[in-house]
Amino acid sequence: MIRAAVALLATLVLSSPLLAAGTVSDFQLDNGMKVVVIEDHRAPVVVHMVWYRAGSADEPPGQSGVAHFLEHLLFKGTDTLAPGEFSATVALNGGTDNAFTSYDYTAYYQRVAADRLPLMMKMEADRMKNLRLSEGDIVTERNVILEERNMRVENNASALFREQLAAAQYLNHRYGVPVIGWRHEMAELGLDDALSFYGTYYSPNDAILVVAGDVQPDAVLDLAKQYYGVIPANPDLPAERYRSAEPPQTAERRLLFRDARVAQPYVVRSYLAPERDSGAQTDAAALAILAEVLGGSTTSIMAEKLQFDSKTALYTAAYYGGTSLDRTTFELVVVPAPGVTMQQAEDAMDDVLSGLLENGIDEERLARVKMQVRASEIYALDDTEGLANRYGRALTQGLTIQDVQEWPNVLQAVSVADVLDVARRVLDRRQSVTGWLMSEEVGQ
């Protein structure tokens, strides 16, 4: 009876197209700024986000970390706002705000009552072009980001290991440089570096405004014209986002990272993989499904074979970072069980991969994974801020609104043949890095 109910649920979940939550409208201002409005009228709340198509991979050589540094500096003053007044004003109006930087974008957001949207736009538009910085601001905030690196990276053996893994994975592309920056370059960042990056990229024709919540599209557009539309476009914005191209990878790389602070050793294998491209999302969808099949849950292949059958591993996982402007990675993780060496754990992982490529995937497993993915996509529609993030990330990385809306159904269209085809192309040791994170004492 239970099995029949599950089968019926799977049929219902998989049989109809997944519709986007609410209504999504988009506009473009005369100065080139894109405006996206996601309606959600369940509560009188709004999420206001400005995304810049500029992240750490867009930094000039020798200035790693300047994108993240500038993110911090944007909370300093303007002609009309004192340092710290921006966030204080948001808090006084009952809201929250923050910002984040990644390889391909920098984003600033506030979550407030819907009637506070005009104030948020006014302040965000102000700091888009009117940031005022002093040498004192530079010294203070540079110390802040250096301390952030100490806390997040230098004091974390796994984070240091991951930095080395990315640097080994990318031979030439800026994705091999940490978003926060290399410490020796962060320490040299100055006022001119910050202002140069700001002057180049912080313009309406390089920005995307995403507003999600209890709003009407026409009203948002009117406000966007009032506050952002009066800012002139930057005529010197580069026509294309120049990135140093990654050459063909023809040699497997290995990394052994030892640190006395490591309490739990683990094995990582990272493969260079295609990103999710506009109008051509099938490979990315197949890789996303492959990650779920191999290591997405306790019912995945690696969990079943390594954690439960052979008891070789305490934990297994697979990840695919598809939302990326340029080539990304597909990653596998195995945490060996007590008494299992790192080499035995790696060999067991490779046995799983060989079995997958030789024997394929049964249709029942694929259907189960696709149902889990479908459920996850449906639950995500209930998160207004998550939807704003989804559209913002996608649009800064070359995807369109249509791509975002079609993605759930592209995932459901993936076949066993699609998964095996992309697995054979991506799981190539010549374009991989295998890393072992170990304490000083652990044997190999």
- Return the active site residues: 71
Report the length, in residues, of the chain: 444
* DSSP string computed for 82-145: -TTHHHHHHHHTT-EEEEEE-SS-EEEEEEEEGGGHHHHHHHHHHHHH-B---HHHHHHHHHHH
For 5, residues 6+ apart whose C-beta sits below 8 A from its C-beta are none
CB-side neighbour CA atoms (13 Å) of 264: 9
Query: Helix and strand tally (H, E) in the chain?
Result: 16, 11
Q: Judge residue 308's burial from the number of C-beta atoms within 10 Å of its C-beta, 0-12 exposed, 13-18 middle, 19 or more buried.
A: exposed
Centroid of chain to Cα 329: 12
Centroid of chain to Cα 394: 9
422's tokens: 């992309």
- Is residue 265 within 8 A of residue 336, CB to CB? The reply is yes
- Is residue 87 within 8 A of residue 75, CB to CB? The reply is yes
